[in-house]
Structure 1
Amino acid sequence: MKVLKQVFNFYINSSIHVALSVLSLTATTYMEFGVLYDKGLLFFVFFATITGYNFVKFFGLAKFHHRSLANWLKAIQYFSFVSFLLMCYYAFKLSFTALICVSGLAGITFFYAIPYLPKRFIIKINNLRTIEGLKVYVIALVWMGVTVIFPLINSDYIFNADVFLVSFQRFVFIIVLMLPFEIRDLRYDSLKLATIPQRIGVRQTKVIGVVLLLFIVLLEFFKKEFDITNLEVVTVIALLTGWFLIRAKKDQNKYYSSFWVEGVPIFWLLLVFVFS
């Protein structure tokens, strides 16, 4: 049992779970627009997500405590390095335009985590993460870009109104999906971050989240290629996400957000397969 728990913790802490979620949303995009899967791109997305997330989460620790890192963190470092190498390998299988797109998203991720101005020039704001109220929108923008824009560009898909509609839906969905995390982190986040629950309270955050989920469902009716099956899937996902949001609290279970909430995109992909 102890070994299984260690494996599960590594699965969560090494960002494999979140990588599967990002991969699932990317695959969902392929299915919604009727585009053939690009296995190379999906592998790239998976390993790039692990590399990016672990870079953001553990950069400070690795920088200042490299020699005294715990064994579990060292294992994640090695795993992240291998993921980085595999990411580079699959990058060569992408189109030039897609590489430009993903480079821009990588740049946003880099400046989200790393101080980009010397301390003598700036004190309170030295990366995108520290800008008041920006955190959730930066994450939503990157997820939307990676899971919608990036795969379609790589497939030379001709952008139309539905692409922008799905992009907006995905952006809003990620914002709502982040709210249980922000509620959980109320105990730890600095007030300077001005997260949504910090600014309007937990109750109002849940109300706004539910309204946004309803908005996501309603947007399905405005798509040129309206699909009743997709409407049913999006409705189920909205209900599930809303249920997780309503039940979210500051002292939530350790795995409530990091596993169950984070796993909603994986369930989304499974639903698409079942309904199709």
Structure 2
Amino acid sequence: MSFLKNSIDLYISSSIHVSLAVVSLSVITFLEFGMAPDYDLLFFIFFGTITGYNFVKYAGIAKLKHLSLTRNLRIIQVFSLFCFLAEIYFFLIQSIEVIVLAIVLGLFTLFYAVPFLGRKRNLRSLSGIKIFVIALSWAGATVLLPAMTSMDFLLWDVVVEFLQRLLLVVVLMLPFEIRDLKYDLAALSTLPQQIGVKRTKILGYALLSIILVLEFFQENFMWINFLTLGLTLFILGGFLLKSKIDQHPYFASLWVESVPVIWLVVLLLLRNFV
């Protein structure tokens, strides 16, 4: 049992799970735009997400405790190095448009973790914007990057999809924000800190409703996409309803973060059997 728990912890801590969630959202974009998935781009997004998240989470820890790292952290360090090398390879074979946007998104990740504003402040330390920086990065990586691999899409649909994805990631982050309420510094001014847990949930439900309504503004509207989105938002709403400060360690980091994967699986099943 301890081996299974340690394996799950390593799977989550190494950012493989969150990377699968980001890749799932990218594949959904390809499918909804009627484009064939670009596997080189998907591998780049996968390895880039692992590299970025592990850099943000562990760079400071590794610097301070490099002589006394835990076994799992050493494994993550080596794993992250290989992922970084793979990310560089897949980065170099992308189109110039994808490379430029990827650099911009990469700078968001860098400035999220590295102080650049004076007094050792970074984007993460700015009051109230942490969740929106993450949402912008996810939306850019999972909507704009796939769209740039082909010109065979409607620009309006890209705009709508980007807004939907931005709002979806904000709601995905809310269970994490609620969980971290007892750990976050007051200066971060997260949504639960500013408006409380109950109002944060109400805001989340409102955003889920907006996401669903926005689907009707897609010029290339498809009922299968609408139904799978509706089911996904219903599941996410259920997780948001159950979110609390004292939650199970795997509630947000494993189950909530599985929502994009569930969305992709349902979409593929419906497209193949309906």
TM-score scaled by length of structure 2: 0.97
Partner of 1:202: 197
1:147-171 alpha-carbon deviations (Å, 9 max, x no partner): 0001111234455111100000000
1:213 aligns with 2:216: no
Unaligned runs of 5+ in 1: none
CA distance in 1, matches of 2:242, 2:145: 33
Structure 2 contact 33–153 (Cα < 8 Å) conserved? no
Equivalent residues in 2 for 1:65-104 (5 A)?
65-104=65-104
CA distance in 2, matches of 1:185, 1:69: 24
- Given residue 14 of structure 1, which amino acid in structure 2 is its aligned partner? S
1:108-149 alpha-carbon deviations (Å, 9 max, x no partner): 1000011124xxxx33x6100000001000000000000000
> How many pairs were matched up?
271
Q: Which residue of the other structure, out of 154, 165, 168, is the alignment partner of 2:163? A: 168
CA distance in 2, matches of 1:138, 1:157: 28
Structure 1 residue 70 displacement after superposition: 1.1
CA distance in 2, matches of 1:100, 1:270: 31
CA distance in 1, matches of 2:154, 2:88: 27
1:224 aligns with 2:219: yes
Structure 2 contact 127–190 (Cα < 8 Å) conserved? yes
Structure 1 residue 175 displacement after superposition: 0.2
CA distance in 1, matches of 2:114, 2:5: 32
**Bigger mean CA offset, 159-168 vs 128-137:** 159-168
Partner of 1:10: 10
1:143 aligns with 2:142: no
CA distance in 1, matches of 2:233, 2:202: 14
TM-score scaled by length of structure 1: 0.96
- SS of the aligned residue for 2:187 comes to helix
Equivalent residues in 2 for 1:15-26 (5 A)?
15-26=15-26
Q: Which residue of the other structure, out of 181, 185, 188, is the alignment partner of 2:183? A: 188
CA distance in 2, matches of 1:63, 1:155: 41
Unaligned runs of 5+ in 2: none
- Given residue 66 of structure 1, which amino acid in structure 2 is its aligned partner? H
- Given residue 224 of structure 1, which amino acid in structure 2 is its aligned partner? E
Q: Give the 4+ runs in structure 1 shifted more than 6 A.
A: none
Partner of 1:30: 30
**Bigger mean CA offset, 90-99 vs 134-143:** 90-99
- SS of the aligned residue for 1:30 comes to helix
**Bigger mean CA offset, 51-60 vs 62-71:** 62-71
CA distance in 2, matches of 1:197, 1:204: 8
Q: Which residue of the other structure, out of 149, 152, 171, is the alignment partner of 2:147? A: 152
